[in-house]
Amino acid sequence: MGLGELDHARRITVELVDAWVETRSAHVDPWVLDAWCAAQRTDDEPRLEAAIASVPRNPWSAAVMSLIRRDFASAATQLEEMGAVSPAALARLWAAEWLVERRRRSEASRYLEPSLAFWRSVGASAYMHRASSLLAAAS
């Protein structure tokens, strides 16, 4: 999806969510964050939201529901509280991307700075570059 393959991402997201609903699995873990990222870019959030609503709530699904509501601060906090620091940094990066796309640049900066600090601390150069580019766009 980072390469602009939205049609492929849409098909995979629909298949994943449909299979998850069909199996009635209550298993939710970090994969649901990636499903949200794809769903929000392909206009499939309602499908994901309905699927999450059909299973018992857990911290991962709660964080995704916060992302769906665009309560990015809550999503990042929930992820950090469960010790998922890398997913929290990724959620902040996604939040900043969403905000920059909507020209809400000053809001994006507050998510970018902690995200960039995390990516620097672990030497994740691709994410550092992505966050740095967004920070420049947000300035």
Domain ranges of the chain: 1-69, 76-139
pLDDT tens-place string over residues 25-54? 777 788 889 889 989 988 889 989 998 888
Mean pLDDT taken over the chain:
89
Looking up tokens 């970090």 gives: 30
Ramachandran area for residue 27 (φ above 0: left; ψ -120 to 50: alpha; else beta): beta
Sign of the dihedral through C-alpha 93, 95, 99, 104: negative
Q: What angle do CA 128, 98, 84 make, to 5 degrees?
A: 55
Q: Structure pTM?
A: 0.85
Contact indicator for 38, 13 with CB cutoff of 8 Å: yes
Per-residue tokens: 47: 């499908």
Mind giving me the DSSP string for 63-109?
HHHHHHTT-HHHHHHHHHHTT-HHHHHHHHHHHHHHHHHTT-HHHHH
Best CA proximity match to 92, nearest among 120, 63, 112: 112
Best CA proximity match to 58, nearest among 41, 81, 89: 81
pLDDT tens-place string over residues 69-103? 999 999 999 999 999 999 999 999 999 999 999 99
